[in-house]
Structure 1
Amino acid sequence: MDMDIATLSKGLDTIWVVLTAAMILLMEGGFALLEAGFVRQKNAVSIIMKVFVDITFGALIFYFFGFGLMHGKDAGGLIGTTGFMLSGDLSNIHLNISHDTFWLFQCAFVIAVISIVSGAVAERIHFRAYILYTIAMTGMIYPLAGHWVWSTGGWLQKLGMIDFAGSAVIHALGGFSALAAAIFIGPRIGKFTADGKSNIVPPSNLPLASVGAFILWFGWFGFNSGSTLSATNGSIGHIAVTTMLSASAGGAACILFTMFRYKKADPPMVINGSLAGLVGITAGCSFVSDGAAIFIGVLCGIAMVLATEILESKGVDDPVGAFAVHGISGSLGTLTVGLFAKPELTASIGKGYYGLLYGGGWNLLGIQALGLVVIGIWGFALTWIALKLIKLIMPVRVSKDEELIGLDVGIHGVPAYNQDHDFLDLETMKRENNR
């Protein structure tokens, strides 16, 4: 009878993790629609192609190299040494699911990380260079940071850092990597005037971007609740509630804040505000109260608006707000765990620390801050180095003509919408995209 219960438990956990992994993979459709809606029409196909690079190359590289570096047997708290191609000794992974199932869930995470960067370099990065950067991110940059926090023996994990589903490991890392890439590659042609004033580049399709945001919101329930890695974990419902509340608070805060600041509710900001709330709650979704989740969402939503303004004032071009949404909100979400983590909720993971506002002292907040700084610097520096090395091999940025024509035609040779032409030569496509 005990064996039957154990088998049933393992089966339920396997189904739960596979389904939530699929929900996270569906988020790539959300990324594609969101970014295609935010960029100009002449670059919609290029966004879709980058998402396909994320999924295809990302999954393969994570299988061959990334997973082993991230979750293999620890060496010095810094790196995994087994588990490449899911082979070798993985006895350090103690879960009620198979290694294959665990890999699938982790693969969905790594694909999300690289997709964060794709938006920051939209409309100007060269496709071949992006492929090489995807290999660097999924094969080394993300796996090593993930090992430090999530793998048994990782040095930040041993210190007691809490990052339930990745505000730091995924979003802050991806956000600071996106910032480095955006600075390295430079702004789009015409984005800033000679005196540094920012020109507005209107989104091509806000309804499309909105649908993308809703798909991301849906997938986030898999992102956060699925990180229990168990269908019988009693915190699944609470995680889903805090996720919903923070996302809603982030969007509501942006509606009110932009009405006050700009005299009208700003649709792109509202879209990103809900996403900011989702990013912010990801670290502490299992460990904070409903009220704290609402506060985190409001904080991240308003901070995202201000960060977007500051970034533009500094001449940094981030077409979809990747750094403001993921870098800033991921940072705030990581730090707020050190404030709001409840003793009765963190006790279940045996860290021994809880939030400052619950009498836990400065220990957890200090650890969270240390981990955030390390991960932010790691993502920024390694992205910069990776792009520098790639530039030695090939151009990182497309040519001026390709950028003006649009990457859809200039790089991929096809427009997003054929406008009912039966046949279209290259010169005609160029004229259509320059109208």
Structure 2
Amino acid sequence: MTKLKLSLATAAMAALPGLASAEVVPGVNPSTDSVFIFNTLLFLIGGIIVFWMAAGFAMLEAGLVRSKNVTMQLTKNVSLFSLAAIFYWAIGYNLMYPLGTWNIEGVLSGVWGPGVLEEVGITADAADDYGYASTGSDFFFQLMFCAATASIVSGTLAERIKLWPFLIFTIVLTSVIYPLQASWKWGGGFLDAAGFLDFAGSTVVHSVGGWAALTGAIILGPRIGKYKDGRTVPMPGSNLALATLGTFILWMGWFGFNGGSQLAMGSVGDVADVSRIFSNTNAAAAGGAVAALILTQILFKKPDLTMILNGALAGLVSITAEPLTPSLGMATLIGAIGGVIVVFAVPMLDKLKIDDVVGAIPVHLMAGIWGTIAVCLSNYQSELNPDGTTLGIQLYGIIVVGIFTIVTSGVLWFILKATMGIRVSEEDEINGLDMAELGMEAYPEFKAG
């Protein structure tokens, strides 16, 4: 998604013969116009589809938490998206794309002076060159990725974290932590210069959310009664139908997530690549779901729906770093390994007494790491593929982003814990956050349990 590697695909006219005979208007280049329009359209349609993932996260989390905490999860998901929209505009977008450097003056001028909102359409000098696509469409598309990062954290820390400390963490995550590390790859920074490849964000988006969630879960501690006398006590979710609906919504949203990250629809080749990305994305999800289905049958003697749902999501995360170059068979295998990772990682976290309510750490962090490494399977650097990557480069990017996110998130969590407190009282946790924090229940006809 690096802006620096984008170039105008003027060959689009070959695919649009009808425009070739259009009347020539002074100051207008039909070929450039069509590329600008179609690239912008891809950003807008992709962004709308990725926005729908916010509903997917909300439904998934609402289904996997206990009924006494459903309203809180819905509140967090609506609030975190809204805060991300405001603070990614105010700070994050200009911090994320500084051409590899952080210019304080440039960042501050983007807040209330010339910045994103001045360029939501065509720039001032657009009479000669519109540029690659509308700045407004790019901002809209990138915002959806930023918000998705915060949604990952929400599910892991469910059922015991206070609302306002979580929202403050969301503000810092979406305005500073996520944009800064994303600039190292997608803003033309040092990871991009090193040859690190992450097409749509297995590391830049998913592992960042996973590292932040893992750090928060360790500092916050497990839910009351989750680990007792050396065993893990199951705490089933309130509504597996909602969780399944959320998974399918996320599955659909990933077509925009990965397909839109082609960042171009102005040529025959670009459109063909988008269709290939769609197919590989779907194949990886299917591979992850089937792998979890079979493995849980073998290990537990019965299939586990929650594992199957997370297996599909892990497959999607796994293919996100490189959804273009694998074959359909390889994409299915990459996704299947993601599903296997989930089945083994969930009980591993329980043994470590790390309480992840929805399984976001295995899905987004561990499968994200795997997906970033899996880039080497189909896009390894060689004489025939000089633009590919190596295992060393991929591991370097994973480690750098991981250390940065752990340190910044850890410092922020500790500050919030020391100043505001991040965990609700024992009484409130037992009674449920819906009534304790919000005073309303998702299912008022039934007593929360």
- Please report the TM-score for the alignment, with normalisation by the length of structure 2: 0.86
How far is the alpha carbon of 1:133 from its aligned partner?
A: 0.3
Aligned to 1:87: 114
CA contact (8 A) 1:353 1:364 kept: no
Report the count of equivalent residues: 406
Structure 1: which 5+ residue stretches go unaligned?
355-362, 421-431
**Residue 177 of structure 2 is aligned to residue 141 of structure 1:** yes
Residue type at the aligned position of 2:101: A
How far is the alpha carbon of 1:142 from its aligned partner?
A: 0.6
In 1, the alpha carbon distance for the partners of 2:29 and 2:282 equals 37
CA contact (8 A) 2:380 2:390 kept: no
**Residue 218 of structure 2 is aligned to residue 203 of structure 1:** no
Q: 1:92-171 counterparts in 2 under 5 A?
A: 96-152=132-188, 154-171=189-206
2:92 alignment partner, SS class? helix
- Shift of the 316–27 alpha-carbon distance from structure 1 to 2, 3 Å rule, reads same
How far is the alpha carbon of 1:8 from its aligned partner?
A: 2.3
CA contact (8 A) 2:36 2:131 kept: no
How far is the alpha carbon of 1:31 from its aligned partner?
A: 0.3
Structure 2: which 5+ residue stretches go unaligned?
1-23, 124-129
For residue 371 of structure 1, the aligned residue among 397, 400, 407 is 397
- Shift of the 384–78 alpha-carbon distance from structure 1 to 2, 3 Å rule, reads farther
Q: 1:181-260 counterparts in 2 under 5 A?
A: 181-193=216-228, 195-232=229-266, 233=270, 234-260=272-298
CA contact (8 A) 2:149 2:209 kept: yes
In 2, the alpha carbon distance for the partners of 1:261 and 1:138 equals 39
How far is the alpha carbon of 1:265 from its aligned partner?
A: 0.7
Q: Deviation per CA, 1:95-153, whole angstroms, max 9, x where unpaired?
A: 6212111111010000000000001100011001011100110011111110011112x
CA contact (8 A) 2:95 2:102 kept: no
Between 117-126 and 2-11, report the one with greater CA deviation. Answer: 2-11
For residue 332 of structure 1, the aligned residue among 357, 370, 375 is 370
- Shift of the 79–342 alpha-carbon distance from structure 1 to 2, 3 Å rule, reads farther
How far is the alpha carbon of 1:52 from its aligned partner?
A: 1.2
In 2, the alpha carbon distance for the partners of 1:192 and 1:54 equals 29
CA contact (8 A) 1:245 1:297 kept: yes
- Shift of the 268–88 alpha-carbon distance from structure 1 to 2, 3 Å rule, reads closer
For residue 422 of structure 2, the aligned residue among 389, 396, 407 is 396
- Please report the TM-score for the alignment, with normalisation by the length of structure 1: 0.89
Among all aligned residue pairs of Structure 1 and Structure 2, give the percentage whose two residues are the same amino acid.
Answer: 36
Residue type at the aligned position of 2:45: L
In 1, the alpha carbon distance for the partners of 2:109 and 2:306 equals 42
CA contact (8 A) 1:53 1:131 kept: yes
In 1, the alpha carbon distance for the partners of 2:105 and 2:214 equals 25
How far is the alpha carbon of 1:81 from its aligned partner?
A: 4.5
How far is the alpha carbon of 1:292 from its aligned partner?
A: 1.7
CA contact (8 A) 1:196 1:315 kept: no
Aligned to 1:274: 312
